[in-house]
């Protein structure tokens, strides 16, 4: 049984609750355990994952959050830099599923977060588990 850390940027609570439900269900259905760590925003997710990885307590990570486009360039910075940070960690061999939603509006976020619709939280957890299995196969 693997132990997975879900790192969530909890800005939109009602949307994060949906993402978390999907991620937790996917991990539990696969027979694994999990913990959840909350950080202030999407930009903090990669750093939190990197710090938690130092503990050696986790086999994979799930990044969750919601970034909704606003009126300023900040949206692009948050989306691009959080994704870049997660990608850099995956290239070191870490198993991470990226479920940080980057959307135009709340309706898009709701459709993607809801387990009955797109279940992106569950999809991010499934991706993390798939990458964990791939790492075990090739790295050991």
* Binding-site positions for 5-amino-6-(D-ribitylamino)uracil: 11, 42-44, 66-68, 98
Q: Which of 101, 97, 100 is nearest to 124 (CA)?
A: 97
* Binding-site positions: 11, 42-44, 66-68, 71-72, 98, 112
Phi, psi of 97, deg, nearest 5:
-105, 125
User: Active-site residue among 3, 14, 32, 74?
Assistant: 74
> Cα 82–86–91 angle (5° rounding)?
145
* Binding-site positions for (2S)-2-hydroxy-3-oxobutyl phosphate: 71-72, 112
CB half-sphere exposure, 136, CA atoms < 13 A: 10
* Active-site residue, 74 included: yes
The CA distance from 115 to 97, in Å, is 16
Q: Is there a contact between 33 and 68 (Cβ–Cβ < 8 Å)?
A: no
Question: Which SS3 state, helix, strand or coil, does residue 57 take?
Answer: coil
Q: Which residues are catalytic?
A: 74
């Amino acid at each position: 049984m693997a132990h997975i850390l879900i790192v969530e940027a909890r800005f939109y609570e009602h949307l994060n609750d949906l993402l978390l439900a999907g991620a937790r269900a996917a991990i539990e259905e696969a027979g694994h355990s999990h913990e959840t760590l909350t950080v202030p925003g999407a930009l903090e997710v990669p750093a939190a994952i990197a710090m938690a990885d130092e503990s050696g307590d986790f086999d994979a990570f799930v990044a969750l959050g919601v970034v909704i486009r606003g009126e300023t360039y900040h949206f692009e910075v948050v989306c691009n830099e959080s994704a870049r940070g997660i990608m850099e960690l995956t290239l070191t061999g870490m198993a991470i599923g990226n479920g940080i939603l980057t959307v135009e509006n709340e309706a898009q976020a709701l459709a993607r977060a809801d387990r009955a619709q797109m279940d992106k939280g569950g999809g991010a957890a499934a991706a993390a588990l798939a990458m964990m299995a791939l790492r075990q196969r090739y790295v050991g």
